[in-house]
Structure 1
Amino acid sequence: MKKSFYYIYTALALLGFSCNKILDTTPQDFVSPVNYYNTESELESALAGVYDRMGDNRVYAQGMASYLVVSDEFFMKNQTSGINANIVDASTLEINRHWEALYTGIERANMLLENIDKAQQVGEAKRKEIKGQVLFLRAYYYFLLTDEFGAVPLKLQSSKSPEEAPLPGSSVKEIYDQILKDMKEAAGLVRSVSDYGYNTRITKTTVQGILARVCLTMAGSPLMDLSKYTEARAYADSVMQSGLHGLNPDFKQIYINHVKEIFDTRENLWEVEFKGTSQGEIQEGGTIGSYNGITCGNIDTGYGYDYVHATAKLYNAYANGDLRRDWTVAPFRFVTTGSTVVRTAWGAGEIYERSNGKWRREYETLLPRNQNNTGTNWPLLRYADILLMFAEADNYLNNGPSEKAYTAVNMVRRRGYGKDVLAPDTQADAPAGLSQQDFQELIVNERLRELAFEGLRKHDLIRWGLYPSVMQVQAREYQTNMPVALRDPAVAQAQRVTARAVLFPIPNSELAVNPNIKQNSGW
């Protein structure tokens, strides 16, 4: 049965004022840090409030599964205005709300960290477990912010007064140093995934895996701290040596499990949990599978908005025999005539017409279905990603791939071809004897094939220093080869990815209250 956080964040909730005394201005029903954070239940509730921002609509419930992560793997079909068309400026609502959601998570984390030791009746082990999760989440929110906005305010204490002076942006290096500090401390405090049996809490291998991602990011653009490859490999290897994780032998089952709300803690180290359909429940549904799912106009079958469409580059990246292609890129759509819904295959030449097929609503178990909201979880870290990160770091450090790097990549590839991941296979295995540069190119393409539509491609292209150039090539590809009915909006979306698009603009909501922060270049 699915373990869930259904707590409502209650700290600092102003519920009402006494009106018995005209001159009595003291709130009579106010939950403040002075009388909160005392019991285990209150700590867990506050912790749930920190996790909660992950499921915001402008974070992983929708934005970071679609319009905030436009790359060469997908385009937004026939979108000509607003964020769905990749039209962004400092006033864009979704960018402002994204920023606010992440800083809300940070503020909640700071409050909990400052007050956690008040709960002396709560055992030390429990307080350490909660503290580790909060430290990690604060660091992760900063990882997203600096990755997307660059030099942002590094706020490590909660707000005590509206009179506090706003902070300037800290350097990207300073922010990453704090991210590493918090995550490394968290690694010694959090528990093992085996203690939970589900993967929506932060665990030791989750921290290690995300530290590998952070270190690979630091090794790339903009910091180019090449020393971090050593740490990235070590953290990925720690997960690999833990014995707690492995590849699900069936690629498609990963996503069926997400839709069916089944936890697979071996493949999936960390997920954002969604539950229910947000209809009269103290549960939070997302839009995974509806906003970014297969074309379908029928709620009973599983409504799909037909926004996120695969590129020919993604489709053609899969070789013959690679089973990932026809699961990742849906080979069909649902056509509704009256009350009849028919699964209709796309023609061989209809590539750009195809939708993201990973999260298929036909597998939902909660009926009746809702048009918008689903309980499908979002994957933040999979074991396949761990293997590919290890191989990338190892290739750099050895000036070429070692046998262990080849094994890591080939395990991912063999699973993609439906083979035994531990048995050499002439069809699936990467060519032997690749140079460092050629092996890195293999990694670039393998991450595209394996992790498509999972919100990582834009991040990868940026850290590799490739985002604007790759997207300008995409614009030319669309102009030349895309069907006329889809072409112009897709071309415009890709053309908007210039050098300034590596970072989002600092939102107007921040600029309006913070005279000490500078707008990013080009915005």
Structure 2
Amino acid sequence: MSYFMVFSDEFFIKGATSGINGNLFDASSLEIGRQWEALYTGVERANMLLDHIDNAIGSVSQEKINEVRGQALFMRAYYHFLLADQYGPIPLKLSSAKTPEEDPLPRSPLAEVYTQIVKDMKDAIPLLRKASEYGFNGKVSTTAAQGILTRVFLSMAGSPLKDEARYADAALYADSVMQSGEHSLNPDFKQIYINHVREVYDIKECLWEVEFGGNNQGTIREGGSIGSYNGIYCTNIDTGWGADLVHATAKLYNAYEAQDLRRDWSIAPFRFVASGNTVVRTNWSANEIYERNNGKWRREYENLLPRNKDFNGTNWPLLRYADVLLMFAEADNYINNGPTARAYEALNQVRRRGYGKPVSAADPVVDAPAGMPQADFQEFIMNERLRELAFEGLRKHDLIRWGIYISTMQQQAATYDATMPTALKAAATGQARRITSRSVVFPIPHSELNVNHNATQNPGW
């Protein structure tokens, strides 16, 4: 997971004043090009499969062909969604390359790209299988596709397209997940992330995950770096090395009430300090907020030993049921000019779990205030998404679709400058101040512009 892709108001990168981690990049930056190329590689592979899958008729059952077709359609759509979300209008590629002499594609209008994304996902859904049939969540299930399509519709409803009719579609598809009987909230918030670290599948809470495995010590190397790059500071490999890069903001910390159990799990209240040949778990003081790391994926729970400094098998959540509930509540609030009882119930289930309460029982202390008008409920949802989904790569996406990314980050820069400890201030302030009007999308990589005479660059780059 590369956190430069999702700079937001929930974290900053300690000490980074240059390069990608310092939020300093341009169209020639290697990471910008690699992201583009990796996503289009995924598009090409999906297209190759779709172009040739019917050749398998006779040797493979039609049921299996349909399922594989559904997976490929969805993945083509998902890669295009990530590209459009990060780069704006993009070349829409719907068939595999047949010859190197093909004329490269121009960038398609964003509305056209999203129309195709929706079509592919809708076509995929009836071909996919239930999560309970798979028994794990590394493959796209029916409800995972419905949940991601909900995210797509909310993106279309917000900036920059502002196609507000899509709120109704978002509510419909989120409700399909909720009514499926396939998913529910894990009653213990922290267990979600312990399961990720231990490579345990929870198909009820987690609809879709990126699967990693092992510690890159053998022939098969499928390890990731979750909890290493973005985890709790630790210099001891046996305990679980952490780079001390991703730090929580005071805005994130203060968004939680003291009784909210999510706070001290999402934001680690301790670090590991070297003491001779060992390390000692040492708590931060009450006023040391900016010093704290992302604590969701804690390497001390890793099962595979010996540990590797940089690699582990911790899985990454792409979609959780809590997100589906919050998306439903947001869409329902919009289309009904205020929240219905179902919107409140979806929101409150997430809140009750966060406080360690039974999710199905009303709680007058924990539940959101009754009778909120539409605007107040929307603000409450925005803050609840910050609390629930912290460090999961969705905050920047949310701020952009809400149309407040630039203003939020400029306010963060001012807050850092006024309140942050001197040792951390310069780097964090610079990272936030570099979020300007051009930062809503990345530049089209020079590697693409050099080979595609039909491509154009994004404004400001």
2:300 pairs with one of 362, 366, 369: 362
Q: In structure 2, what is the equivalent of residue 516 of structure 1?
A: 454
- Structure 1 residue 150 corresponds to structure 2 residue 105: no
Shift of 1:283: 3.7
Q: In structure 1, what is the equivalent of residue 18 of structure 2?
A: 81
2:86–2:442 CA contact under 8 A, matched in 1:
yes
Q: In structure 1, what is the equivalent of residue 6 of structure 2?
A: 69
State how far apart, in whole Å, the 2-side matches of 1:67 and 1:150 are. Answer: 17
Higher relative contact order (CA 8 A, sep 6+): 2
Q: In structure 2, what is the equivalent of residue 13 of structure 1?
A: none
- Structure 1 residue 421 corresponds to structure 2 residue 359: yes
- Structure 1 residue 119 corresponds to structure 2 residue 70: no
TM-score by length of 1: 0.87
Q: Give 5+ residue unaligned stretches, structure 1.
A: 1-61
Alignment RMSD: 0.6
Q: Secondary structure at the match of 1:68?
A: helix
* Amino acid of the structure 2 residue aligned with 1:69: V
Q: Secondary structure at the match of 1:188?
A: helix
Q: Secondary structure at the match of 1:440?
A: helix
TM-score by length of 2: 0.99
Q: In structure 2, what is the equivalent of residue 34 of structure 1?
A: none
Pairs within 5 Å for 1:306-317 = 306-317=244-255
1:230 pairs with one of 160, 165, 168: 168
State how far apart, in whole Å, the 2-side matches of 1:151 and 1:165 are. Answer: 18
Which whole-Å deviations, capped at 9, do the CAs of 1:456-495 have from their partners, x for residues lacking one? 0000000000100000000000000000000001000000
State how far apart, in whole Å, the 2-side matches of 1:280 and 1:135 are. Answer: 33
Q: Secondary structure at the match of 1:447?
A: helix
2:236–2:278 CA contact under 8 A, matched in 1:
no
* Amino acid of the structure 2 residue aligned with 1:108: R
**Bigger radius of gyration among the two:** 1
- Structure 1 residue 95 corresponds to structure 2 residue 32: yes
2:266–2:296 CA contact under 8 A, matched in 1:
yes
Q: In structure 2, what is the equivalent of residue 282 of structure 1?
A: 220
Q: Secondary structure at the match of 2:4?
A: coil
State how far apart, in whole Å, the 2-side matches of 1:237 and 1:343 are. Answer: 43
- Structure 1 residue 402 corresponds to structure 2 residue 340: yes
State how far apart, in whole Å, the 2-side matches of 1:80 and 1:255 are. Answer: 30
* Amino acid of the structure 2 residue aligned with 1:107: E
State how far apart, in whole Å, the 2-side matches of 1:116 and 1:137 are. Answer: 15
State how far apart, in whole Å, the 2-side matches of 1:224 and 1:389 are. Answer: 16
Q: In structure 2, what is the equivalent of residue 40 of structure 1?
A: none
Pairs within 5 Å for 1:109-508 = 109-120=46-57, 121-508=59-446
State how far apart, in whole Å, the 1-side matches of 2:414 and 2:364 are. Answer: 35
Which whole-Å deviations, capped at 9, do the CAs of 1:336-370 have from their partners, x for residues lacking one? 12312100000000000000000000000000000
State how far apart, in whole Å, the 2-side matches of 1:157 and 1:238 are. Answer: 30
Q: In structure 2, what is the equivalent of residue 11 of structure 1?
A: none
**Deviating 4+ runs (over 3 angstroms):** none
2:196–2:315 CA contact under 8 A, matched in 1:
yes
Q: Give 5+ residue unaligned stretches, structure 2.
A: none
2:223–2:312 CA contact under 8 A, matched in 1:
yes
Q: Structure 1 residues 83, 362: CA separation in 2 closer, same or farther (over 3 Å shift)?
A: same
Q: In structure 2, what is the equivalent of residue 104 of structure 1?
A: 41
Which whole-Å deviations, capped at 9, do the CAs of 1:91-150 have from their partners, x for residues lacking one? 111111000000001111111111111112100000111110010001000000001101
Pairs within 5 Å for 1:5-84 = 62-63=1-2, 66-84=3-21
Q: Secondary structure at the match of 1:379?
A: strand
Which whole-Å deviations, capped at 9, do the CAs of 1:26-74 have from their partners, x for residues lacking one? xxxxxxxxxxxxxxxxxxxxxxxxxxxxxxxxxxxx21xx121010000
Q: Secondary structure at the match of 1:380?
A: strand
Shift of 1:88: 1.6
State how far apart, in whole Å, the 2-side matches of 1:260 and 1:250 are. Answer: 15
Which whole-Å deviations, capped at 9, do the CAs of 1:202-229 have from their partners, x for residues lacking one? 1100011011100000000010000000
Which whole-Å deviations, capped at 9, do the CAs of 1:306-351 have from their partners, x for residues lacking one? 1100000000000121000000000000011231210000000000
Report the number of matched residues.
Answer: 460
Which whole-Å deviations, capped at 9, do the CAs of 1:147-192 have from their partners, x for residues lacking one? 1101111111111111111111001001000000000000010111
* Amino acid of the structure 1 residue aligned with 2:290: Y
